[in-house]
Amino acid sequence: HIQKYVTKKLGEDWIFLVLLGLVMALVSWGMDYASAKSLQAYKWMYRELHPNVPLQYLAWVTYPLVLILFAAIFCHLVSPQAVGSGIPELKTIMRGVVLKEYLTLKAFVAKVVGLTAGLGSGMPVGKEGPFVHIASICAAVLSKFMSIFCGVYEQPYYYTDVLTVGCAVGVGCCFGTPLGGVLFSIEVTSTYFAVRNYWRGFFAATFSAFIFRVLAVWNKDAVTITALFRTNFRMDFPFDLQELPAFAVIGICSGFLGAFFVYLNRQVVLCIRRHTALSQFLTKYRLIYPGVITFLIATVTFPPGFGQFMAGELMPREAISSLFDNYTWAKYTGDPQILGKSAAWIHPKVSVFVIILLFFLMKFWMSVIATTMPIPCGGFMPVFVIGAAFGRLIGEIMASLFPNGILFDGIVYKILPGGYAVIGESSCLPFSSPGPIPMTFLVDMMCYFNMTVFSPYSFSTLPGKGAAALTGAVSHTVSTAVICFELTGQISHILPMMVAVILANMVAQSLQPSLYDSIIQVKK
Amino acid sequence: HIQKYVTKKLGEDWIFLVLLGLVMALVSWGMDYASAKSLQAYKWMYRELHPNVPLQYLAWVTYPLVLILFAAIFCHLVSPQAVGSGIPELKTIMRGVVLKEYLTLKAFVAKVVGLTAGLGSGMPVGKEGPFVHIASICAAVLSKFMSIFCGVYEQPYYYTDVLTVGCAVGVGCCFGTPLGGVLFSIEVTSTYFAVRNYWRGFFAATFSAFIFRVLAVWNKDAVTITALFRTNFRMDFPFDLQELPAFAVIGICSGFLGAFFVYLNRQVVLCIRRHTALSQFLTKYRLIYPGVITFLIATVTFPPGFGQFMAGELMPREAISSLFDNYTWAKYTGDPQILGKSAAWIHPKVSVFVIILLFFLMKFWMSVIATTMPIPCGGFMPVFVIGAAFGRLIGEIMASLFPNGILFDGIVYKILPGGYAVIGESSCLPFSSPGPIPMTFLVDMMCYFNMTVFSPYSFSTLPGKGAAALTGAVSHTVSTAVICFELTGQISHILPMMVAVILANMVAQSLQPSLYDSIIQVKK
């Protein structure tokens, strides 16, 4: 009889998990599809107006402006709770605080529409944070819907369970990274994680990520259902012990940079709030703030203008995939068109180092202010891009410092031309490139950087919960690192990376709270 | 003031974690070192007696016999609790049942010595399970020792916390896989996992794994501090959607095989217990049982005898690394000596398929009975080897079925010769080999297989805890899969693999409990 009861319960639970996974995969894919089409239209418009620079400029600026303003108005009218990342609020809810209207269907609609518009505008805003919120709403609504058919979903604690699974699914199908999703759901639960949700999260997140990737393959966006930003670096680079000081230095640098990012982000918000007049003015004319920011960012990135010095024409995802390519730009002298999207990084007159550095600096402040706009927007992707740019910069410098490879233990590890040319791909490389070294650094940097921004100390942010969460300090580190691993399909360097990540975190932790916690503090 | 209190507490905790990590890394490395030397001596002895086959046989059988009997006697005299894997007992302790004498210094000594002897004998016994037990004992003893200096370590729940971290460190530094270690520690906690241990586990496991790998590099056992059984497969094999049925079939097969493994293991134990006379006889003469098993296994693997048809001369770790090599044995016709260790798989008269099949079948029953011996022994590694052999078999068959590569979407993905020859390695391949395909299957199989053996349903094994652990069903899946990823440094196929893993688990789950839970049931 107990067996029967169990199977019945598991059965119902199973349906809930599959439904949740399916819905979220469809939403995630639909959002990606819509925003990709929007970006395509944006670029097409810009390209069609080619000889006429003023008209091009107008199009380049107006398009994102319209989308961002639409997102801002829509969110304001439908559900103001949809603004921002949503993870800080979720963390708060998971800690037991009741926040009104955060898990309603209205917020769901506002967030989905607003986020799609935001992503489709090409601004440096991320998908992960809002998507976790969306998945949680979906889980909460779905569980209420399911409880019409059976009373199972009204147990105590069930609400937290539902949200936990929602978080896992959100991260899991946002990028197709189930492992990172589950770890994230553990980290978001600040005190005690119910182990039953571990399995449920895995099941739902895997299912969701799978459907999401299958949809992408079916739509010919992607070739495989494996990693999203696939990297294939040389994996036999036996340089780890010697690299340790480098790892440590990079880790510590990332710590400082990450803390600086969080600090800037908070200062922008606080600064506006401190000027009461400005604050009131912006509250009255809600569209001024996002409008000005969008105008500013679009103007700076305008390709024929300053954008040519910072690969301004690349949309966030294009930037990532081009940063991950297997060439060494610093050494490249041929026709840039062969490089495809990466051609944006080569400027006839300016060194590629300067371009990457400018890209890094510009994207840094742009991401900082873009994430303060009153639209649904996350910080994961922008930070991912910044980290990748930083890594690429170091990698390119490395590659020019050691053009003939590196001597280790009597063997010259030559930075080989086309170490593992993408076999059979039509993009067969007509020239040799010392690839691998920049790449390993890239993933590393991206991980460190993401980590330090979204990192630690959740304790003492909410009164009465401090003590229990005390030692949960470096929590947030791991899920972001794992998401990076899953996104790039590389895990062989996990050990040195974890060491550097812990270092980076210690620095960031002693300087600033995590971005999420910073937002919680600001909003309090 | 609260900040100060926090820092103090964190500070002390930090010292505890570092100490634990350091001690366990040293123990793990020392154990590996001793057992490797023992295996070396074993093989040296066998080789020195070369022309004299009877003497060789005597040496081949006596050496493991002496070691295993020593381990059995030592454990019996010092601490009978040290027998077996230890994970079932730990799971029971974590669920709140008090087991006497399981976490004492005596058990520690018995387990370390017994396990080293067992590993050094070349029998198919694993290190992971006992090592988790060792780490937990170490954590418990260390925390008691620390509490002399300060009272912090006597809080309620602290005991569970210490054991959780111990588990993470145990898995983490056993193979150098911190991520898998932490996931394992979550899974071993059957109901509520304290999130603070997540960070603590990560910190300690990473530190420990790092020291462990650095020791290995320092001792020139390994080239890098990255993955242990490093694989470098082609990662751009865009065959995933088409492969799905194959994935599903393999997953389901693994499910059946895994369940069969657990079933056999339990039947061996129950069968002996059912024959009261036999059982009493074996209890009286304790050394008969391990002696007979060791004699049997050593006789069958004797290389000039039957062992030549099942690569009998390979010790477990050698078998894994040779199974992971980048050649396709079925197509190989040159001088076997170039293959190094893998030469054992090539027999002049017998097809390589038969050899691998025999290896698989033989290792299957050997591992089943070897893990029932009354010495400290785990099942992870033997199952890992069996899974790898099964994967290799399928891979070799695939490679001979498609000798010219695979057509996909208009592009022929040629199974290229030396797709990613190990750059700069002295083992530069003098002949071409269609490598990659067997390899991806290998990792997959190993994962599935490990999963299904160590898999699910912990519920209803312990009365009164059933309800809460209900849905924790497929729990154990994930950490074993993640350990496999970390061991091989490959994560790009995580998504299709997770899907197959869930399928494999559903099968295994509906047929048999996990190996650990099976042992708990048998011991009750």
Backbone angles phi, psi at B194, to 5 degrees: -75, 120
Taking CA–CA distances from B503, the nearest residue in chain A reads: A203
- The residues, ordered by sequence, that sit 6+ positions from A433 with a Cβ below 8 Å of its Cβ are A326, A327, A328, A331, A332, A417, A418
Cβ <8 Å between A491 and B489: yes
Distance between CA B52 and CA B40 in Å, rounded? Answer: 20
**Residue B152 · residue B126 · CB < 8 Å:** no
Interface test with chain B among A169, A491, A502, A509, by most B beta carbons within 10 Å: A491
**Both structure tokens of B240:** 């995933």
Tokens (6 digits) for B237 = 């094999």
Exposure string for A311-335, b = 16+ CB within 10 A, e = fewer? bbbbbbbbbbbbbbbbbbbbebeee
Query: So what's the pLDDT on residue B160?
Result: 79
Task: Give dist(CA A273, CA A282) in Å, integer.
Answer: 10
Q: Rounded to whole angstroms, how far apart are CA atoms B54 and A115?
A: 77
Q: Higher-confidence residue: B229 or B176?
A: B176
A349-372: b or e for each residue (b if 16 or more CB lie within 10 Å)?
eeebeebbbbbbebbbebbbbbbb
Q: What is the distance between the alpha carbons of residues A100 and A136, in angstroms, rounded to a whole number?
A: 14
A482: nearest CA partner in chain B: B179
Q: Which tens digit of pLDDT belongs to each residue from A28-85? A: 989 988 998 899 899 899 888 888 889 999 999 999 999 999 999 999 999 888 888 8
Cβ contact, residue pair A471, B413, below 8 Å = no
> Could you tell me if A15 lies within 8 Å of chain B, comparing CB atoms?
no
Cα(A153)–Cα(A141) distance, integer angstroms: 11
Alpha carbon distance B73, B114 (integer Å): 9
Dihedral of CA A458/A459/A461/A466: which sign?
positive
pLDDT, position A291: 92
Residue A434, classed as helix, strand or coil, is: strand
Q: What is the pLDDT of residues B54-67, one digit of tens each?
A: 999 999 999 999 99
Residues of A in contact with B476 (CB under 8 A): none
Sign of CA dihedral A423, A427, A429, A430: positive
CB B353, CB B310: distance < 8 Å? no
DSSP state of B192: E
Instruction: Identify the CA nearest to B134 among candidates B393, B472, B410, B377.
Output: B377
Mutation target among B2, B202, B234, B471 for the A interface, most CBs of A within 10 A: B471
Backbone torsion region of residue B464, taken as left when φ is above 0, otherwise alpha when ψ lies between -120 and 50, otherwise beta: left
* Res A446: pLDDT: 63
Query: How many percent of chain B have pLDDT more than 70?
Result: 68
Nearest Cα of chain A lies from the Cα of B187 at a distance, in angstroms, of: 7
Contact B495 A199 (CB under 8 A): no
Beta-carbon separation of A225 and B196 below 8 A: no
CA distance A168 to A126: 17
For residues B332 and B433, the answer to whether their CB atoms sit within 8 Å is: yes
User: Taking the CA of residue B74 as centre, how many other CA atoms within 13 Å lie in the half-sphere pointing to its CB?
Assistant: 22
Q: A470 to chain B, minimum CA–CA distance in Å?
A: 7
Pairing of strands B411-413, A192-194: unpaired
CATH architecture assignment, domain B2-218: Orthogonal Bundle (1.10)
Place of tokens 């093989």: B43
CA A305, chain centre distance (Å)? 28
B435 pLDDT band, cuts 50/70/90, is very low
The three-class DSSP label of residue B374 is coil
* Tens-place pLDDT, residues B471-482: 333 445 567 777
The secondary element (H helix, E strand) that includes residue A501 is: helix A494-511
The DSSP secondary-structure symbol of A371 reads T
Q: Could you tell me the pLDDT band of residue B464, with boundaries at 50, 70 and 90?
A: very low
Cβ–Cβ gap B232/A230 under 8 Å? no
pLDDT reported for residue B250: 72
Predicted pLDDT at B411: 47
pLDDT at A473 over 50: no
Amino acid code (one letter) for A317 = R
Polymer length in residues for chain B: 524
The answer to whether domain B240-459+466-523 has CATH 1.10.3080.10 is yes
Instruction: Choose among A387, A523, A370, A494: nearest CA to A451.
Output: A387
- Count, in order, helices (H) and strands (E) of chain B: 19, 3
Closest-CA residue of chain B to A187 = B195
Contacts of B271 (CB under 8 A, 6+ apart): none
- Which residue is associated with the tokens 């009218």? A77
Q: Which fold has domain A240-523?
A: Clc chloride channel (1.10.3080)
- Measured between CB atoms, does B191 come within 8 Å of chain A? yes
Q: Does the pLDDT of residue B135 top 70, yes or no?
A: yes
Contacts of B240 in chain A (CB under 8 A): 217, 224-226
Residue A434: phi and psi, rounded to 5, are -80, 90
Overall size of chain A counted in residues: 524
Q: CB–CB of A47/A303 below 8 Å?
A: no
Q: Residue A440 — pLDDT band, cuts 50, 70, 90?
A: low
Give mean pLDDT, residues B262-277: 85
pLDDT the model gives residue B113: 93
Question: How far is residue A249 CA from its own chain's centroid?
Answer: 24
> pLDDT confidence of A216, banded at 50, 70, 90?
confident
Can you tell me the mean pLDDT for A184-189?
Answer: 78
Judged on CB neighbours under 10 Å (0-12, 13-18, 19+), B448 is: buried
A203 lies within 8 A of chain B by CB: yes
* pLDDT (tens digit per residue) in A140-152: 888 887 776 665 5
Q: How far apart are CA A384 and CA B395, in angstroms?
A: 37
Identify the H or E element spanning A411. strand A411-413
Q: Are A230 and B227 in contact (CB under 8 A)?
A: no
Cβ proximity of B378 and B129 under 8 Å: yes
Catalogue the E-assigned strands of B152-295.
Answer: 192-194
Share of chain A above pLDDT 90, in %: 14
- Copy the structure tokens of residue B492: 């790009």
Reduce the DSSP state of residue A466 to 3 states and report it.
helix
- The whole-number pLDDT of residue B114 equals 93
Average pLDDT, chain A: 74
Q: Which residues of B touch A162 (CB under 8 A)?
A: none
The mean predicted confidence, pLDDT, of chain B is 74
Query: What's the rounded mean pLDDT across residues B232-248?
Result: 55
Judged by CB atoms closer than 8 Å, whether chains meet at A495 and B178 is answered as yes
Q: Is B336 on the interface with A (CB under 8 A)?
A: no
Nearest CB to A192; choose among B182, B194, B470: B194
CATH 1.10.3080.10 domain position(s) in chain A: 2-218, 240-523
Q: Which residues contact B248 (CB under 8 A, 6 or more apart)?
A: B499, B500, B503
Candidates A410, A443, A509, A499; CA nearest to A227 is A443
- A10 touches B: beta carbon within 8 Å: yes
Helix A288-301, helix A352-370: angle, nearest 10: 170
Q: Which of A196, A424, A477 sits opposite B471 (nearest CB)?
A: A196
Residue B455: C-alpha distances to residues B255, B300, B479 (Å): 10, 30, 10
B206–chain A Cβ distance below 8 A for any pair:
yes
Write out the two tokens for A199. 């399995």
Q: Residue B265 pLDDT > 50, yes or no?
A: yes
Chain A, nearest residue to B469 by Cα: A196
Burial class (CB in 10 A: 0-12, 13-18, 19+), B1: exposed
Interchain CB contacts (distance < 8 Å): A and B? 258
Contact by Cβ (8 Å): B356, B400: no
Instruction: Please check whether residue B9 touches A, CB under 8 A.
Output: yes
Looking at residue A74, its amino acid is: F
Helix (H) or strand (E) holding B228: none
Give dist(CA A490, CA A440) in Å, integer: 9
- Of the candidates A9, A224, A232, which has its C-beta nearest B238's C-beta? A224
Sign of CA dihedral A433, A435, A438, A442: positive
ipTM of predicted assembly, 2 dp: 0.76
Higher pLDDT, A14 or A150: A14
Q: Which residue has the tokens 């031309």?
A: A417
Alpha carbon of B111: minimum distance to chain A alpha carbons (Å): 27
Using alpha carbons, select from A289, A353, A292, A346 the residue that is nearest to residue A314.
Answer: A346
Of residues A426, A14, A437, the one with CA closest to residue B506: A14
Window 483-502 of B: residues touching A by CB (8 A cutoff) are 485-486, 489-496, 498-499, 502
User: Is A197 a residue whose pLDDT tops 70?
Assistant: yes
pLDDT reported for residue B294:
93
Continuous segment of H or E residues that includes residue B412: strand B411-413
Residues of chain B with CATH 1.10.3080.10: 2-218, 240-459+466-523
Q: B177: which 2 tokens?
A: 């896989």
